[in-house]
């Protein structure tokens, strides 16, 4: 029952517009205490804007957001006391040592003097930087810098930690290590974590629940397991040579038993089917009847990529180009003005 559930984050019809552009569009969600919740979406989807509202750095245009029941617009001070925020760009000072960076953070966060050393030692152990604490950050790798950045956001023991694209730009091995540290930190402090990402695997690995966000709107919210399960049992990917029978081919495919949904992306098709092994021979039958040449066909269990395509109609990469198109459009508008 709702009365027993404590929410760390609640938004109600949260909306943010910049001029005639709606970056965050009517978002309502609740994140329970201790949950790891992720926003998965392409560049320009509205992830950072949402985080900036939740961390009191931007005011919403309309709607409401509460952190530990404090309103971000009217109780900003209390909200800030409850949160940690690690932004996308690395913010640690390159010319200070690891420890000096954390000392600076501790002072900025008004941590009691007699607590500072203890907390820094504890956090350095947790992120395994004790050995490197007296080296200047210039000598640190990208992954070490990110770990230090995350550590800085934890010193005041926030109830809610915001991580905006925590592993963007890092190589896959380093990314996996950061995931382990995030899990470790969550096990240790049990805080609520709200993270954003455009990496499917990251959302899948870390999050209890995911909100798929595209063009400022939430398309769906659920656990990675449920999202994948709801896709139907299997995914059939087809690449075919387009010809005059394309339309008949597509409409015949739609009629096959067990085919629940088809996504069409040029000559690439994704079929969501509850019984893939029965469906594949039928696809070949139809294609040979209509003289359509299939260049590749594969059958796989659904992944979060498939979930994303199913809800947004495009791959997450396409989102980047849409983002760039928007930028281009804005640039043209400026040039014309
Ligand atoms: N300060 C701003 N002024 C104007 N437009 C902005 C501003 N910040 C973000 N936007 C626009 O809002 C949309 C969402 O951006 P953002 O929240 O940064 O997306 P994401 O973090 O998902 O990549 C984009 O189209 C972006 O161009
Ligand atoms: Mg962003």
- The Cα 88–Cα 47 span in angstroms is 11
Three-class secondary structure of residue 215 per DSSP = coil
Ligand nearest to the CA of 168: 2
Per-residue pLDDT in tens (0 to 9) along the chain, 337 residues: 445 678 999 999 999 999 999 999 999 999 999 999 999 999 999 999 999 999 999 999 999 999 999 999 999 999 999 999 999 999 999 999 999 999 999 999 999 999 999 999 999 999 999 999 999 999 999 999 999 999 999 999 999 999 999 999 899 999 999 999 999 999 999 999 999 999 999 999 999 999 999 999 999 999 999 998 887 778 899 999 988 999 999 999 999 999 988 999 889 999 989 888 899 999 999 999 999 999 999 998 888 888 999 899 888 874 454 444 555 455 455 555 5
Ligand 1 atom closest to 327 (CA): 27
| E strand or H helix that includes residue 50 | helix 47-54
- The Cα 149–Cα 220 span in angstroms is 31
Pick from 43, 48, 49 the residue to mutate for probing ligand 1's pocket: most ligand atoms within 8 Å of its CB. Answer: 49
Pick from 16, 18, 326 the residue to mutate for probing ligand 1's pocket: most ligand atoms within 8 Å of its CB. Answer: 18
- Ligand 1 cavity residues, CB under 6 Å: 18, 21, 23, 41, 43-49, 326
Strands 192-197 and 36-40: parallel
| E strand or H helix that includes residue 185 | helix 172-189
Q: How far apart are the CA of 323 and the centre of ligand 1, in A?
A: 9
Minimal-distance CA residue to ligand 1 atom 16: 46
Residue spans of alpha helices (H) in 153-245: 172-189, 200-206, 224-229
Ligand 1 atom closest to 45 (CA): 22
For the entire predicted model, the pTM comes to: 0.81
Domains and CATH numbers, the chain: 2-221 (3.40.50.300), 232-301 (3.30.70.260)
Q: How far apart are the CA of 49 and the centre of ligand 1, in A?
A: 6
Minimal-distance CA residue to ligand 1 atom 11: 23
CB 185 within 8 A of CB 192: no
């Amino acid at each position: 029952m709702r009365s027993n559930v404590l929410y760390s984050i609640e938004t109600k019809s949260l909306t943010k517009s910049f001029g005639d552009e709606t970056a965050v569009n009517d978002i309502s969600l609740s994140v329970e205490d201790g949950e790891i919740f992720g926003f998965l979406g392409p560049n320009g989807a509205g992830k950072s804007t949402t985080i900036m509202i939740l961390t009191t750095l931007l005011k919403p245009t309309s709607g409401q957001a509460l952190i530990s029941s404090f309103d971000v617009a009217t109780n900003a001070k209390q909200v800030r006391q409850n949160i940690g925020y690690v932004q996308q760009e690395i913010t640690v000072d390159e010319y200070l040592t690891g420890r000096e960076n954390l000392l600076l953070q501790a002072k900025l966060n008004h941590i009691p003097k007699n607590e500072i050393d203890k907390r820094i030692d504890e956090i350095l152990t947790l992120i395994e930087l004790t050995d490197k604490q007296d080296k200047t950050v210039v000598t640190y790798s990208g992954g070490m810098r990110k770990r230090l950045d995350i550590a800085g956001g934890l010193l005041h023991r926030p109830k809610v930690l915001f991580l905006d694209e925590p592993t963007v730009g890092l190589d896959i091995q380093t990314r996996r290590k950061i995931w382990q540290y995030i899990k470790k930190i969550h096990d240790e402090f049990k805080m609520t974590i709200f993270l954003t990402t455009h990496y499917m695997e990251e959302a899948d690995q870390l999050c209890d629940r995911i909100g798929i966000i595209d063009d400022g709107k939430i398309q769906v919210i659920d656990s990675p397991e449920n999202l994948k399960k709801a896709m139907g049992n299997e995914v059939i990917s087809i690449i075919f040579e387009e010809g005059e029978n394309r339309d008949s081919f597509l409409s015949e495919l739609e009629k096959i038993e067990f085919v629940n949904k088809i996504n069409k992306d040029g000559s690439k098709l994704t079929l969501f089917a509850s019984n893939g092994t029965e469906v594949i021979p039928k696809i070949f039958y139809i294609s040979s009847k209509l003289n359509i040449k299939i260049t590749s066909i594969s059958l796989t269990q659904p992944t979060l990529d498939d979930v994303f395509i199913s809800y947004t109609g495009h791959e997450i990469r396409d989102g980047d180009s849409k983002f760039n198109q928007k930028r281009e459009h804005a640039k043209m508008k400026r040039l014309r003005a």
